Amino acid sequence: MSDFEPKIVAFVCNWCTYAGADLTGTSRIKYSPSVKIIRFPCTGRIDFMLLLKAFANGADGIIVSGCHPNDCHYTSGNFHAKRRWIMFKELMDFMGIDMKRITFSWVSAAEGARWAEVVNETDARIRELGPYISYKEMVNRPLEEEVRNE
């Protein structure tokens, strides 16, 4: 498993975490290159289906990050997101999807070092867990097999 390079997709908000990740770069802090950052207007915009699509397209881990509560650029987007993630996490747990692979965090624009920490911590965790084989197997199941089972 030593040559396993995790694919981590980060869904971040434009105003806090994206700016925070920018600060990480300008501060010359190194962090794991396994993360692919996708910028959203707000955490409230991050549809739970996007996370499922990330897993379906081969992600091994996901980071969702935005402004701290009370700091949202649009006042309440992250509060709405919080309620949504509570529901989503509970449903995923109930369906047996590995929630250890998803990191939820709040990272502000001033927390460049913290962003590096969040990414590195997630990267280490995913490396330990290995590729998300069970989900990939489900996605890549050939259709003939599906038909045979019916």
Q: Which is nearer to other proteins, 1 or 49 (CB)?
A: 49
Closer to other proteins by Cβ: residue 26 or 94 = 94
Q: How far is the CB of 67 from other proteins (least distance, A)?
A: 12
Residue 135 sits at φ, ψ, to 5 deg, of -70, -40
Q: Is 76 in the site for other proteins (CB under 8 A)?
A: yes
* Residue selected from 106, 112, 126, 131 as contacting other proteins according to rule CB under 8 A: 106
What is the pattern of x (binds other proteins, CB under 8 A) and - over residues 123-142? -----------x---xx-x-
C-alpha pair distances (Å), 12 with each of 36, 41, 131, 141: 10, 8, 22, 31
DSSP 1: -
Footprint (CB under 8 A) of other proteins, residues 8-67: 48-49, 52, 56
Q: How far is CA 78 from the centre of its chain?
A: 15
Three-state SS string across 3-72, please?
CCCCCEEEEEECCCHHHHHHHHHHCCCCCCCCEEEEEECCHHHCCHHHHHHHHHCCCCEEEEEECCCCCC
Q: Which of 104, 111, 112, 131 binds other proteins (CB under 8 A)?
A: 104
Q: How many residues bind other proteins (CB under 8 A)?
A: 40
Does residue 80 belong to the site contacting other proteins (CB under 8 A)?
yes
* Cα separation, 23 vs 6, whole angstroms: 24
Pick one of 19, 67, 97, 126: the residue that binds other proteins (CB under 8 A): 97
Angle between helices 77-95 and 48-56 (to 10 degrees): 50
Interface residue list for other proteins (CB under 8 A): 48-49, 52, 56, 69-70, 76, 79-80, 82-99, 103-106, 118, 134, 138-139, 141, 143, 146, 149-150
